Structure 1
Amino acid sequence: MRTFTGEEPLEFLVTRGARCSNSAAHLRLTRTRFLVDYREESVVPDKAFPLLRCVPAGTALGHMIRDLGREDAARDARWPVPDLSSLIPRLTPDFIRSVQVSDSLHQTLHLTEPGDPARLRDIPVDLAAAVIGETDVGAESPPETLLRLVVEDLAPGLCSQIPVWTPDGDLLTSADLGWEEAGVFLFYDGEHHLERGQRDHDSEVAAAIQHSGGRLLRVTAGQLRDLEGVRTLRARVRRLLGV
């Protein structure tokens, strides 16, 4: 979760009898009677430090999702996501963050398909299945994850990282999301898209898509900030899709 905020704690698993009162603010010492089990499945992330052992990715993801279920006003402030459950019941802030974390972990590990929900430890099986079921290994940023979650029910066939070619057949870029058969492509524009060079590139991308008969929509953070913005965005996407 440090991908999203550097203030998330680093968790250490310790024996049930360990003293935890002196842990630093950026650490969490978690007592567990299953420490032997965790050690048996642990991995060495860096061979230069053989004594440093970590839980495998599935366990780490399970623990991160578990932590997101805990109320934390400070986290809500530093990692804001909208509550969209009145529009799409599953899209609570905790669930959105869980999928963002899962997407990011899969990207970090260069995985080509979502992992096995059964490997996510210490969370309910149905929650693990729901998060992995929504995971997209092609999502390259938390806003892209959120964008996918708010439009994926509008039409079948939504894909991520769709190649965009120049009229000469050269690879120009990849659309963050889109319905390729329908010729509708979505791009999330972060702050760097305000730079002159990036704007020139974006214009070239738009021209290439339009040349092939496609349509594109550029989405900004403001359109994903709250329920009203998301409703408006979904209406625009529907019009492009003709649904």
Structure 2
Amino acid sequence: MAILDTHIRDFKMVDDADSGYETLYKAAVASAELSTVARGSANSVIDRLMQNRNDPTASDLTRRIQEAASQGDTDAIFRLTDELRDAKSAENERSAKLTKLAEEFSFMELLRAYPQDFKDLTYELGLLVLQKTQEGLATYKRPARARTGSEPKGTVYVISHNGQSIEAMKNVGAAKRPDGERPFFEFMGFEISSDGRMLDPATFTNINGEVVPANSKKAVIEDLLAGNPHWLERGFRIKVKDTPKE
């Protein structure tokens, strides 16, 4: 819900001349916080509704004219062009009538004029969301667990890079401010803002291809343990710190 709350706040700043929902949708669907399953379901609904904005008759005639032109069939081109002109004229007349209706009635009032069609479309979209969500969940790759074996909580790791090393532990609970973990983040190649609140870069792509916030030591350590080339190719290595035997 955090992603939607953020974009709803942004939505309040949209120009009054625009309802803002298209802007709100595009911002939400492009966010790295949105799951692939949610994005696919939303796009399928948008695609289904946008189909109703196209005139299938005009599109079919245009396609047939192109085919006739490729075959050099002049008679068919002239005949189909006349049909397309008539179809466009009829479409313009219908559009004018619809515009007049829209001036006289609200959208909700017009929907009440077609109760069964509206009901069918509503359930069709509901079914579409169920199907796309189920398909997405069936193919969704769950994040791979870091290869930590049976390491106990509080395990200390040694991370090495370019002949230097640092000891680190996974953070527990909410992530601290970056300046509270300055040695770790600077060793991993991040820059910390002057106020100590932000990292640059603020995110990284983990081994599952997901863009995740970088301010979590746990996320960085587990990704390094999982063997993400993002770290390995830059020379980072990690191992569990050896404990002295009693």
Higher strand share: 1
Higher helix share: 2
Which TM-score applies when normalising by structure 2?
0.20
Query: Of the two structures, which has the highest relative contact order with CA contacts closer than 8 Å and spacing of 6 or more?
Result: 2
Q: Which has the larger radius of gyration?
A: 2
Which TM-score applies when normalising by structure 1?
0.20
